[in-house]
């Protein structure tokens, strides 16, 4: 027998390995008929080494779980609720004739499809999230009158969205990029949004620089490619970014999914108690499951093999009943301490050292419910730093002040005037009563016949004394103050000296591998800043870059 005949026989024998394919009902594999898998239908021809049984998980089984072991039959309708006559065939003149304009079910389907994408977030476009609850474990009423903290054991529903920052909605979850960490608290006094990142600092301290920073990190407007010159040109011209750059290119730059990363409010806030006594504060979240990061080589492989790694990991973990949780803390600084602090306490490019301002336990939050639908629960979620409740107020932090306008404004663009009526954004634990009416997509009762003006003789509209912030004084001349050289090197130097030798070497390698792709004069400028952080740090980076250039 010829080799070609032998090969053909082998293929035939392989294809004859017919077996009943195991089927999952509600996530369970029913083994029937003497241990053989049972399948409702004809035998399926399956080549054994193409089996997917070893890679199934809760996310992969979503549709099977939706069926729940039953045959699902649902009458099709149009958007109006009217029965749909035929979802599979358009209305035509004869079997080969043109389509009729009166086929309104087809027209409706097409028009809805054409409009089903809403504008992508300018930043934080790619993300995942889940619902859960926050529980108070320590009394901090001496600092804040916010009812979310009012007593130990108090439970508040939340939704959390995690995200990457620079990448588009289809980008990989394992890129070296800061992560967004936004928490929406559905308190009994309205929505409180804590909109932060997985790092305690940020790249710039003046909100006017934010737009250029984002442009420099995104795609070149001519080539539509990520541009290393743009990236490092901006950062090397704004050395205030050094602390954030060091964190980003350290081991912490690629967290292992969302479950193993910390969260920070990053900005400085103000807490006010029942006696109108105020302190400044920062918010911290630490994962109970521990911090864990992904090595560079593994992250690069995952970017190709499973670009949705972090979203999948969170979904499956919750679906398996292993609910991730975080401990929630605050740091507190009095007004007097703020006046005497050696750094600007409202500078988002700097931290408050924990040995001077220790973490104070507040509570724990847990995620125990996956989204019912990603678009309605996560994509339409609108987080706004301006959503605060009595007892939590903004500080003079310039970046926070800029964000108070920007976030609400972008939600108006992305989701519309009435985005707070969407279920995920709705303050469902309070009754909304104001003079705001109408607008695009107003789908609730529009406050019925209540007056849409203030004051009114027909209803006594009460202002909340509790929500009124205590008065505070401020001084200074109105001017544009340049803070670009406000001690950019001390804290990065502290960070370098607190790292282990292994962490330092990985930081140098990661920086050099990325920076080497920028123009030589930009490399030189950035290395100059690193020398000001620490001489040895600068020497190691310079040597590594020279080694790359010699290749």
Catalytic residues: 124, 197
Determine if residue 407 is labeled as part of a ligand binding site: yes
Please write down the long-range contacts of 384-389, taking CB distance under 8 Å and 24 or more positions apart. Answer: 384/193, 384/195, 384/408, 384/411, 385/193, 385/195, 385/267, 386/193, 387/184, 387/190, 387/191, 387/192, 387/193, 388/192, 388/193, 389/146, 389/147, 389/148, 389/187, 389/189, 389/190, 389/191, 389/192
Question: Count of CB atoms within 10 A of residue 369's CB?
Answer: 15
Nearest-5° Cα angle at 253, 248 to 256: 165
Cα-Cα-Cα-Cα dihedral sign, residues 193, 197, 200, 206: negative
CA-wise closest residue to 310 among 361, 265, 259: 259
- Three-class SS state of 209: helix
- Burial bucket for residue 27 (CB in 10 Å: 0-12, 13-18, 19+): middle
* Dihedral pair phi/psi, residue 124, rounded to 5°: 65, 35
Cα separation of 215 and 229, whole Å?
12
Binding site, by residue number, is 407
């Amino acid at each position: 027998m010829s080799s070609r005949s032998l090969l053909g026989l082998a293929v035939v024998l392989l294809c004859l390995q017919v077996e009943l394919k195991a089927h999952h009902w509600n996530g369970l594999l029913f083994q029937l008929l003497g241990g053989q898998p049972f399948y409702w239908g004809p035998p399926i021809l399956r080549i054994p080494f193409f089996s997917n049984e070893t890679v199934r998980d809760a996310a992969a089984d979503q549709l099977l779980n939706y069926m729940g072991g039953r045959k699902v039959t649902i009458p099709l309708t149009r958007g109006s609720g009217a029965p749909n006559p035929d979802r599979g065939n358009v209305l035509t003149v004869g079997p080969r004739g043109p389509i009729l304009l009166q086929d309104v079910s087809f027209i409706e389907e097409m028009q809805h499809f054409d409009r089903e994408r809403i504008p992508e977030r300018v930043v934080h476009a790619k993300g995942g999230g889940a619902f859960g609850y926050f529980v108070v474990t320590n009394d901090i009423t001496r600092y804040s009158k916010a009812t979310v903290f009012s007593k130990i054991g108090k439970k508040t529903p939340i939704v959390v969205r995690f995200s990457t920052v620079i990448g588009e909605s289809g980008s990989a979850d394992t890129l070296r990029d800061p992560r967004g960490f936004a928490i929406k608290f559905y308190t009994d006094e309205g929505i409180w949004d804590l909109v932060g990142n997985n790092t305690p600092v940020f790249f710039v301290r003046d909100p006017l620089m934010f737009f250029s920073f984002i442009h420099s990190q995104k795609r070149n407007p001519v080539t539509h490619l990520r541009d290393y010159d743009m990236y490092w040109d901006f950062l090397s011209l704004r050395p205030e970014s050094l602390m954030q750059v060091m964190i980003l290119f350290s081991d912490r730059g690629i967290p292992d999914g969302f479950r193993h990363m910390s969260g920070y409010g990053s900005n400085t806030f103000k807490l006010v108690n029942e006696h109108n006594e105020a302190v400044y504060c920062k918010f911290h979240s630490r994962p109970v499951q521990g911090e864990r990061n992904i090595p560079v080589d593994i992250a690069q492989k995952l970017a190709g093999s499973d670009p949705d790694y972090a979203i999948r990991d969170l979904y499956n973990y919750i679906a398996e009943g292993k609910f991730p949780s975080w401990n929630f803390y605050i740091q507190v600084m009095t007004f007097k301490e703020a006046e005497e602090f050696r750094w600007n306490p409202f500078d988002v490019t700097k931290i408050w050292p924990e040995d001077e301002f220790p973490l104070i336990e507040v509570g724990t939050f847990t995620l125990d419910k996956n989204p019912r639908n990603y678009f309605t629960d996560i994509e339409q979620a609108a987080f706004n730093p301006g959503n605060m409740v009595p007892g939590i107020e903004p500080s003079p932090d310039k970046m926070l002040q800029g964000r108070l306008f920007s976030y609400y404004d972008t939600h108006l663009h992305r989701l519309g005037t009435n985005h707070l009526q969407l279920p995920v954004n709705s303050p469902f634990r309070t009754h909304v009563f104001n003079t705001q009416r109408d607008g695009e997509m107003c789908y609730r009762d529009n406050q019925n016949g209540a007056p849409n003006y203030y004051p009114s003789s027909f209803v006594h509209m009460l202002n909340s004394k509790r929500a009124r912030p205590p008065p505070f004084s401020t001084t200074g001349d109105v001017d544009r103050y340049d803070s670009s050289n406000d001690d950019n090197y001390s804290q990065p130097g502290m960070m370098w000296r607190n790292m282990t030798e292994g962490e330092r070497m990985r930081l140098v390698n990661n920086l050099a591998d990325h920076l080497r792709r920028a123009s030589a004069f930009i490399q030189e400028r950035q290395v100059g800043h690193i020398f000001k952080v620490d001489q040895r740090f600068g020497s190691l980076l310079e040597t590594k870059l020279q080694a790359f250039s010699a290749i």
